[in-house]
Amino acid sequence: MCFSASASFIASGVTGAGGLACLKSTRRKSEIPLASIPFLFAIQQFIEGLIWIYYPGSGVADILTPLYSFFSHVLWPLFIPIAIYLVEPSGRRKKLLLSFMILGISVSIFLFYFIIQNPAEVSVAENHLRYSYGYLENARISVLLYLTVVSISPLFSSHRILKVFGVLLFFSFLVAFQSYNPSFFSIWCFFAAGLSLLIYLHFKYRHRLTLHDYIEKLDRTLHDRF
């Protein structure tokens, strides 16, 4: 299968390079969290590559699995809404994104509590890493809330590429859940790592898009006045 230690390390290298390019493209401190997303996915994929190597039952894997779970369950529902919120200009959208950010913080705290109480057990299922979480048996609503804050919040951004990022996150989550369950967290994070490279396109073309939006706004203003 293509999902293996090699695939994780390759994904780590590619997204790490993309993350460094994003960080070099920032011009304001508020952009740093968004630019950091590909680099953080690179760290997560590197951790999973190590889990592949040291599985099963080694002391190293026992340490790395909770660390991976922190990224997959706690970091992303907290970090992605905050990153989207910080780059949004002031206005109605920013106020709406604030509610997603608060929800994301709540989801992260909730999941952090459950993964501490019920640490993940890692195994291999159909040549994929499977992380078994006890909370999923009785708290599936948390998965819906997770999906909402991670993939729906970008849809309310005024930045077009971030909207595309959200749409693809949503559908990749559904594909991973339907096709690779019960390994969907591992598979989806692999997909999401690749999709995070879209953030580089956001930084590369943001000024062009902003100028286009400004021209449209100016045209509408002149039309209204004259």
Predicted local confidence at residue 223, as pLDDT: 55
**Domain residues for 217?**
5-225
Per-residue pLDDT for 212 more than 80? no
Per-residue pLDDT for 12 more than 80? yes
Out of 14-28, 131-145, 154-168, least confident range: 131-145
Amino acid at 209: L
Number of domains present in the structure of the chain: 1
Predicted local confidence at residue 217, as pLDDT: 52
What whole-number distance in Å separates Cα of residue 58 and Cα of residue 206?
46
Q: Which has more confidence, 91 or 153? A: 153
Q: How many residues does the chain have?
A: 226
Helix (H) or strand (E) holding 220: helix 198-225
pLDDT tens, position by position, 66-104: 899 899 889 999 999 999 999 998 888 999 999 999 999
pTM equals 0.83
Residue found by looking up tokens 């969290």 in the block: 33
Predicted local confidence at residue 208, as pLDDT: 54
Mean pLDDT in residue range 182-200: 85
- Say whether 127 sits in a helix, a strand or coil: coil
pLDDT tens, position by position, 24-64: 999 899 999 999 999 999 999 999 999 888 876 677 778 88
